[in-house]
Amino acid sequence: MGKHILLLGPPGAGKGTQSKRLADEFGLEHVTTGDALRANKGMDISGMDTEYDTPGEYMDAGELVPDEVVNAIVEEALSSADGYVLDGYPRNLEQAEELSGMTDLDAVVYLSVDDDELVDRLTGRRVCPECGASYHVEFEPPAEEGVCDECGTELVQREDDTESTVRERLRVYQENTEPVVEHYREEGVLVEIDGEGTPDAVFESIVDVVDA
């Protein structure tokens, strides 16, 4: 049976970067609600009686997309995965409750990073729209400026990686997602890792937890 790994942490903590490495190292599926929602930004959800009519409107505002939409995405993705690394979900206690009904977890890893560092990371982030790889103009530049190392696609800046939207996402994280971290901490399953080391150092720490 493949491993079931949950990566938690604020926006910019390095969840996407580390998930990709873990997926490669352990042959796992990378299940990420952020990428899934970005691929479905224009989906019509007006029938759900929600504030906005599409996921994209929530994302551009830095708000959470309604639980009903994300729960369905995760349920579908996990049902077809053997081992996986889950990133970007759960983001509130209701989603955590939902997840506990869908699957068991082998490791819950929390990457901790200071707010100032998060803002620097997110405003300098560049992503590959094709394969999902993350880069940073200063901290993790690609070999050729603006081009994905892995697939040669032109990198883009996410629309929600502007300073004002980043601040709102951090606020939403504190309000909704920090209680999720506390929930796993109280259950005694959370392993906290210093997310401020180099990507290699952080990866080694996570592998130690996953292999333990």
Please list the active-site residues. 15, 91, 125, 158, 169
Please give the residue whose beta carbon sits closest to ligand ADP in the complex: 34
How does strand 4-8 pair with strand 107-112?
A: parallel
Residue entry with tokens 């697939």: 151
What, of Zn ion, ligand ADP, none, does residue 128 touch, CB below 5 to 8 Å by kind? Zn ion
Q: Is the CB of 33 or the CB of 54 nearer to ligand ADP?
A: 33
CB of 129 to ligand ADP, least distance (A): 13
Residues 145-164 that bind Zn ion (CB under 5 A): 148, 150-151, 153
CB of 191 to ligand ADP, least distance (A): 16
Whole-number Å distance between alpha carbons of 78 and 191:
22
In whole angstroms, what is the distance from residue 24 CA to residue 182 CA?
29
Residues in the interface with Zn ion (CB under 5 A) total 8
Binding segment for ligand ADP among 33-41, 42-50, 146-154, 186-194 (CB under 6 A)? 33-41
Nearest to 10 by CA among 207, 208, 196: 196
Select the residue interacting with ligand ADP from 5, 155, 202, 206 (CB under 6 A).
202
Burial label, 53 (beta-carbon count in 10 A; 0-12, 13-18, 19+)? middle
Choosing from 5, 6, 8, 14, the residue that interacts with ligand ADP (CB under 6 A) is 14
Binding-site member from 136, 148, 180, 206 for ligand ADP (CB under 6 A) = 136
What residue ranges bind ligand ADP (CB under 6 A)? 9, 11-17, 33-34, 37, 58-59, 62-65, 70, 88-89, 91, 95, 121, 124-125, 134-136, 139-140, 160, 169, 198-199, 202
